[in-house]
Amino acid sequence: MRILTEIPDADVKQLDALASKKNSSRAAAIRDAVKLYLVQNTDNNDWIERWAGLWEHRDDIPDGVEYQRAMREDRRPYEDI
């Protein structure tokens, strides 16, 4: 859907500069801004479902439980206390 809107010249210059840094178009930058605005101003938690498991296939991030166990290896077992 196309939407016509007026944006101040100073904002358009900043938008173009940001888009240029990201090798993106002005239209893509505006779409990203609208998405961000909607996410920040919505009361639901849909983002949790969308982003859950985002890093599950990454090999460079260790398992959290294994990390905790490794950090606690030098401590006495709970049964000994």
Amino acid at residue number 41: N
Q: Which of 11-15, 39-43, 60-64 has the highest mean pLDDT?
A: 11-15
Is residue 1 a part of any domain in this protein? no
Is residue 29 a part of any domain in this protein? yes
Q: Band of the pLDDT at 46, cuts 50, 70, 90? A: confident
Confidence check: pLDDT of 81 > 70:
no
Confidence check: pLDDT of 80 > 70:
no
Is residue 60 a part of any domain in this protein? yes
Residue 4: CB partners within 8 Å, gap ≥ 6?
none
Is residue 30 a part of any domain in this protein? yes
The boundaries of the domain holding residue 39 are: 9-75
Is residue 57 a part of any domain in this protein? yes
Is residue 2 a part of any domain in this protein? no
Please state the domain count of the chain.
1
Residue 18: CB partners within 8 Å, gap ≥ 6?
29
Q: Name the percent of the chain lying above pLDDT 90.
A: 41
Token pair belonging to 67: 């990390």
């296939």: which residue's tokens? 57
